[in-house]
Chains A and B, each alone.
Chain A
């Protein structure tokens, strides 16, 4: 064995390399605070490994990105790997901040380590760029809308707004070209830059030596391995166990697939951008650029200049009260803005669990439109109930209107189908792919079908529908069923000036009864 290792050393010199890497003498008193660099190295390795393996299954196209991620999380290892990658990003942001706090508190940025400090700041920017580009890749609503906001903020860049926006967008609007661009940034360009900067940062750290405790202590320097390595390993292991605990059940569930036409979605950034997001709220209108560019730019400039602003010889935080005060105030500001942003973050989930009339009505229409000819247990496509609709609403509408268009083959020619039916079926299918049909009584289903086919053009119930006629959400408080029935059947008999058409001839008695009873119950 020894001969083999000797041979290998003679050919490669690996013992010299190992000596250079591991036996660096560290000043006495180097302690637990100096483990954060290794924590970051460990977390970055996890990100790079999980990221590389995720690319085995990920497809960066608007048609397939969402499906491919759903495929990834369909097995336990996939859920864990994606969970590690998702929470790993947050862990890195926290670790980077703690590392920076340590460096500022210990005055480690001071001469001769200014270049190390600057390379660290570049790494911080790179980490944020990673999380920004990675956020888009799942191509769900959260991803899409956060990117819309990011790109719109980038367009505030003074003088070059459209240039920067266009560069980030890739195409005329946010779509396929944006996704491939951000994917390439996330997996090729940024990792290349990261590798260079991490190596540079470590080489600079080794060249100037580790800064060590703020006041020199007596004692012999000890080699990194195994003395400091034991501390590093302990902390890294604890952090990774914590990360695994977060990741065990996977990342938070995907939202609905990206839908550029959805005007109701309220974008939310990842939690570590909530502070920046919150800042924008204090600079309305033309002042927005102050919150988006000027304040963050000034903070960045102060950080870059820190080694030259603080030129005192002492590294002891107690002798640098001004720097510590400003830095703590800045840190407090970031934490405050982030927690304000967290409390202020919009919640858009609430209403989506309720079934709207259009969605309920869509069920009956889907049944009569013959979707089940193909969408059946023995048909050419999955039954609607087990279908996971990952296509956007336009695609679905096109498919409902003409199933042949998307799935050419042995289909029967489509029955002509109205615009309202299409909208209702699309709403139903999209809802169904997120939650199973809860079941409603026949009267409600009939009323919903009538509403989704006729009333929805002019009237709104619970926020869904047209605005030409009155909102009917609480119509039952004003009128009883008999009155409503009479009005729907023949509006002019009730009110000679009514603009609403008569539905006497289009609805049968059961339908009239159902819609009148349903609306009368809406108090």
Chain B
């Protein structure tokens, strides 16, 4: 009966080991870390395309990797240049519910067409329901203003 007991332990532990190994590999496979969004710098124009202190919308075509699928999306970015050294870029997506804001030159404000959110030219909320300022997009200028790059 000792022999039987030993065999039971042997069989059960080997089966458990196999099950554990298979589960570990398949689990790691199923839970593969979602590929980090690969943001990259893309050209959004030149300084000569911009007007000082006037947000200029640029529609950029970006491609995002979604697993094995490459997705192409368009995203609107406002470039705001002070005419000198300072430039910043704002995402056109309203922080309230994701509508695309427009620049209203008359009142020098960004207005959201959906629920009346209003932002100033730095993206700060002036009026309405948006919970926070428009998202900032990294921007840099290269080649003496010939290339303005944003990171999307």
Name the one of A64, A77, A84, A379 contacting B32, with C-beta atoms under 8 angstroms: A77
A-B pairs, 7 with minimum CB distance: A71-B68, A226-B7, A77-B28, A409-B61, A77-B29, A67-B68, A68-B68
- Give bound CA distance, A75 to B68, whole Å: 13
CB proximity of B20 to chain A, nearest CB, Å: 12
Given A77-B29, A78-B29, the answer on whether A64 and B68 have CB atoms closer than 8 Å is yes
Pairwise interchain contact A226-B29, C-beta atoms closer than 8 A: no
When C-beta atoms are compared, the residue in chain A nearest to B5 turns out to be: A226
CB proximity of A56 to chain B, nearest CB, Å: 6
B11 at the interface (CB under 8 A from A): yes
Measured between beta carbons, the chain B residues less than 8 angstroms from A50 are: 26
- Give bound CA distance, A84 to B26, whole Å: 11
When C-beta atoms are compared, the residue in chain B nearest to A65 turns out to be: B68
Give the segment of A10-18, A25-33, A167-175, A229-237 that binds chain B.
A229-237
Measured between beta carbons, the chain A residues less than 8 angstroms from B21 are: 244
- Give bound CA distance, A71 to B32, whole Å: 11
Pairwise interchain contact B63-A380, C-beta atoms closer than 8 A: yes
Given A71-B67, A77-B25, A236-B18, the answer on whether A378 and B7 have CB atoms closer than 8 Å is no
Task: List A50-84 residues whose CB lies under 8 Å from chain B.
Answer: 50, 53, 56-57, 59, 64, 67-68, 70-71, 75-78, 80-81, 84
Given A49-B26, A77-B25, A77-B28, the answer on whether A230 and B68 have CB atoms closer than 8 Å is no
- Give bound CA distance, A376 to B81, whole Å: 26
Measured between beta carbons, the chain A residues less than 8 angstroms from B29 are: 53, 56, 75, 77-78, 80-81
Measured between beta carbons, the chain A residues less than 8 angstroms from B14 are: 233-234, 237
A71-105 contact mask (Cβ, 8 Å, vs B): 1 or 0: 10001111011001000000000000000000000
Measured between beta carbons, the chain A residues less than 8 angstroms from B60 are: 410
B86 at the interface (CB under 8 A from A): no
When C-beta atoms are compared, the residue in chain B nearest to A69 turns out to be: B68
CB proximity of A28 to chain B, nearest CB, Å: 16
Given A77-B29, A80-B25, the answer on whether A407 and B72 have CB atoms closer than 8 Å is yes
Task: List B1-30 residues whose CB lies under 8 Å from chain A.
Answer: 4, 7-8, 10-11, 14-15, 17-18, 21-22, 25-26, 28-30
A395 at the interface (CB under 8 A from B): no
Q: List 8 A-B contacts (CB under 8 A).
A: A77-B28, A80-B25, A80-B29, A226-B7, A226-B11, A377-B40, A380-B61, A380-B62
- Give bound CA distance, A19 to B57, whole Å: 74
Measured between beta carbons, the chain B residues less than 8 angstroms from A407 are: 72
B85 at the interface (CB under 8 A from A): no
Measured between beta carbons, the chain A residues less than 8 angstroms from B10 are: 226, 230, 233
Given A57-B67, A226-B4, A233-B10, the answer on whether A81 and B26 have CB atoms closer than 8 Å is yes
Measured between beta carbons, the chain A residues less than 8 angstroms from B42 are: 378-380
Given A81-B25, A237-B18, A409-B74, the answer on whether A378 and B41 have CB atoms closer than 8 Å is yes
B46 at the interface (CB under 8 A from A): no
Measured between beta carbons, the chain A residues less than 8 angstroms from B15 are: 233
When C-beta atoms are compared, the residue in chain B nearest to A46 turns out to be: B22
Residues of A within 8 A of B (CB): 42, 46, 49-50, 53, 56-57, 59, 64, 67-68, 70-71, 75-78, 80-81, 84, 225-227, 229-230, 233-234, 236-237, 240, 244, 377-381, 407, 409-410
Measured between beta carbons, the chain A residues less than 8 angstroms from B59 are: 410
B149 at the interface (CB under 8 A from A): yes
Measured between beta carbons, the chain A residues less than 8 angstroms from B149 are: 378
- Give bound CA distance, A55 to B40, whole Å: 31
CB proximity of A452 to chain B, nearest CB, Å: 29
Measured between beta carbons, the chain A residues less than 8 angstroms from B17 are: 237
CB proximity of A421 to chain B, nearest CB, Å: 25
When C-beta atoms are compared, the residue in chain A nearest to B31 turns out to be: A77
When C-beta atoms are compared, the residue in chain B nearest to A76 turns out to be: B28
Measured between beta carbons, the chain A residues less than 8 angstroms from B4 are: 226-227
When C-beta atoms are compared, the residue in chain A nearest to B17 turns out to be: A237
When C-beta atoms are compared, the residue in chain B nearest to A79 turns out to be: B29
When C-beta atoms are compared, the residue in chain B nearest to A381 turns out to be: B63
Measured between beta carbons, the chain A residues less than 8 angstroms from B62 are: 380
- Give bound CA distance, A237 to B15, whole Å: 8
Pairwise interchain contact A409-B72, C-beta atoms closer than 8 A: yes
CB proximity of B72 to chain A, nearest CB, Å: 7
Pairwise interchain contact A64-B69, C-beta atoms closer than 8 A: yes
When C-beta atoms are compared, the residue in chain A nearest to B41 turns out to be: A378
- Give bound CA distance, A236 to B10, whole Å: 13
- Give bound CA distance, A230 to B63, whole Å: 55
Task: List B44-74 residues whose CB lies under 8 Å from chain A.
Answer: 59-63, 67-69, 72, 74
When C-beta atoms are compared, the residue in chain B nearest to A58 turns out to be: B68
- Give bound CA distance, A248 to B131, whole Å: 51
Measured between beta carbons, the chain A residues less than 8 angstroms from B8 are: 225-226
Interface centre among B22, B29, B32, B69 (most CB of A within 10 A): B29
Measured between beta carbons, the chain B residues less than 8 angstroms from A380 are: 42, 61-63
Measured between beta carbons, the chain B residues less than 8 angstroms from A381 are: 63
B136 at the interface (CB under 8 A from A): no
- Give bound CA distance, A515 to B29, whole Å: 53
Measured between beta carbons, the chain A residues less than 8 angstroms from B74 are: 409
